């Protein structure tokens, strides 16, 4: 029988060559700015959030490979403050936070609304996230 791991011991990893390393999003403001500016689409979300899963699956279905950064509950306030300083949010930032082309785009509601109206694909093409 397999034994289930407690929720707190699970760490998401990304491939770096042959090694695996845990993702850690919190850090300096410059680090946060670099993550947002270097990637065409970034989704920053709470660990295990169902809404972030919906946003990520929608973007993957469109052919976009978003950078997904999961944060722990105890880091949420710090990360929210850093993200509000990185880009002008024009309102209160909520998770999942989607950044397209280096600027804050919105949350799940804005991504879904622009997808339904057909405006999301041109925005993603302009940001360099879609080629066709």
| Number of residues written out for the chain | 132
Classify residue 60 by its DSSP letter. H
pLDDT digits (tens, 9 = 90+) for 20-65: 333 444 455 557 778 888 889 999 888 888 899 999 999 999 999 9
Each domain of the chain, given as residue ranges in start order, spans 24-127
- In this structure, what are the phi and psi dihedrals at residue 56, rounded to the nearest 5 degrees? -65, -45
Spatial CA neighbour of 33 closest among 73, 79, 76, 74: 79
40/36 Cα distance (integer angstroms): 8
At residue 91, the pLDDT reads 63
What predicted TM-score, i.e. pTM, was given to this entire model?
Answer: 0.72
Residue range 24-127 in CATH 3.40.50.300:
no
At residue 21, the pLDDT reads 38
């Amino acid at each position: 029988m397999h034994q289930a791991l407690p929720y707190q011991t699970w760490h998401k990893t990304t491939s770096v060559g042959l090694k695996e390393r845990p993702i850690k999003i919190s850090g300096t403001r410059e680090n946060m700015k670099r993550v947002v500016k270097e990637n065409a689409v970034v989704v920053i979300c709470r660990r295990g959030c169902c809404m972030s899963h919906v946003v990520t699956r929608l973007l993957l279905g469109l052919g976009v490979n978003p950078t997904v950064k999961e944060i722990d509950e105890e880091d949420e306030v710090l990360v929210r403050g850093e993200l509000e300083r990185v880009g002008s949010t024009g309102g209160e930032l909520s998770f999942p936070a989607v950044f397209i082309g280096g600027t804050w785009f919105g949350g799940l509601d804005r991504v879904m609304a622009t997808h339904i109206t057909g405006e999301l694909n041109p925005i993603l093409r302009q940001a360099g996230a879609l080629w066709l």
